[in-house]
Amino acid sequence: MSTDNNSKDNITENNRDEQKLENECDFQFNNINFNELAFEYLRKLEEYLNELKITKFDYSQFNFDDLKIIGHGGFAVVYSAELQAA
């Protein structure tokens, strides 16, 4: 009978530990400022692109030659094309 009580105690203790961990994770997740994270991500991305000297260009469907559809799915159409020289 004592082994049954020990098993029940272990299960109860494990459940408490799991609940405690779940509560800690919820607290951590709920206190994340997603706007701040997004801003920091975009800032680092722009900094990285500048280091690589990748320039931005305005999109226009008329800026491309040899436009071909190479795939499509439920969310997007994928094209292959060559950017016209400026």
pLDDT at site 29: 62
Cα R_g (the chain), whole angstroms: 27
pLDDT at site 70: 94
Tens digit of each residue's pLDDT (9 = 90 or more) over 30-53? 666 777 888 888 888 888 888 887
Domain ranges, residue 73: 2-83
Question: What's the number of domains the chain is made of?
Answer: 1
Contact by Cβ (8 Å): 70, 78: yes
